[in-house]
Each structure stands twice: as structure tokens, then as C-alpha cells.
Amino acid sequence: MTVKFIRTAIPLAILACLAMTAGAGLTSLPTSSFYSGTSYKTTATQACRVEFAVYDTATYPTDLAGSELSNPGTGRYVYAYQIFSYAASIPFFVIQGLGDNAVTNNDIDTYDDSGTNSVNATSFGLNATQTSVVFEFNGDILSSGKNSWYLVLSSNQGPVTGSYKLTAPTDDDIVLPDGVADDNSNNSNNNIPEPASMLLMGLGAVALFKRKQK
């Protein structure tokens, strides 16, 4: 009975946590039957919103049909993000805290959203420690009034809430373009979905369940 309860409680708890961050409807990302939302970030120098969606291609295989967005890898879950800049410029979008082996470089891509103000990332990939995905807008920095193309990941790991930042991380081998500050303190407190290690999530949920039973 306990094992059955834990197997049921873990995915429900994960989705419940994610649901708390869900926001308004998406501007241009394809509608997701699984999960979507919006996160806002405002600092003294930057302001933007990040719209996101996770597509479960096994349960809802038609969600991406007919759209510009597709699965860049072979993973069950497709994570899509789009940044809308309100002020200043955004040189990097960094998704932090990935689970071990949750994403490879072959699972990352960008797709045109057909918008007139859209800017594509000039490079993207995992950092050296493979704990973050970095999208760089060097050469055509994502300035005020512009939005990014769809920034997409593929993973077999289901979503948990994670964090992002709008400048380059310090723990990778990326060479910063001229004039871009390496500000590791610019972390967002707003949550976005990201793939994480299912083993770690399972252990955490089991520990929480056991603690409640005492």
C-alpha cells in the first residue's frame, strides 16, 4: 500500500508544485495539454517575461502538429521557452539546475516563431558541467520590444520547477562578447519548468513522506 501511494503521490506532488507557477495564456507557443505558464523578471537594468510550455509527446502526441515547433531530440517531454523583452537587452538566457544526464547537446534547438520582432539565438548548448542550458544572443542582442524564437529542449525526464538567469554563468567555458558583464548574482526567483533527475525527485519525495509519518 505504501509503495503504491508513493508512486501515485510523486507525480501528483510535482505537478501541483508546477501548477502554482502557471500564469496567463501563451502569446505564440503552441497550446500544451500538459502544462504551460508565464514567469516575469524585473531588475534595475532588465525587464522581460518568459512564456513556457511542456509538451508530453506520449500522452498528447498531436499538440505540436502543424506548428513551427518540433521535438529537437528523442525525449518524451519537449520544453519550450520564449522571452519577451520590455527594457534594456538580454545577452543570455540560462536555464539552471538540470538533472544529471537530463539533456544532451543534441536535444537543444531553436525554432522560428514567424514574428516580425523575433531574434534567434546565435549559439546554444550545455555549459561545461552540463548543469545548465545556455542560449546566447550575441550579435543580435534581445533588446527592448523584441522577442526570442522558440528555445527548445528535449528530455525523457519530467518537469520540476527550476530557475533561470539573463546573463552568462561563471562555471562554463563560454567566452563573453565585448561589453557583456559576467554577473553571476543575477538569478531569477521566478520558476520555470526544467527536466531534472527522476531518481533525485523520487528520493526527495520518499524522504518527505517518511518524515510526515513520524
- What mean pLDDT comes out for the span 127-132? 86
**Which residue range(s) make up the domain with 13?**
2-213
Supply the pLDDT for residue 213. Answer: 46
Arithmetic mean of pLDDT, 164-186: 55
Q: How distant is the alpha carbon of residue 167 from its chain centre?
A: 15
**Nearest-5° angle of CA 157, CA 159, CA 161?**
140
Number of domains in the chain: 1
Fill in the amino acid letter for 111: Y
% of the chain at pLDDT higher than 90: 43
pLDDT of residue 208: 37
Asked whether residue 59 carries a pLDDT value surpassing 70, the answer given is yes
Q: What pLDDT is stored for residue 200 in this prediction?
A: 39
Give me Rg for the CA atoms of the chain.
17
Q: Which three cell numbers, joined as nine digits, stand for 14? A: 510535482
E strands within 43-170?
A: 47-56, 77-87, 89-90, 92-95, 108-111, 118-119, 123-126, 133-136, 142-143, 147-148, 150-155, 159-162, 164-165
pLDDT of the residue at 20 = 36
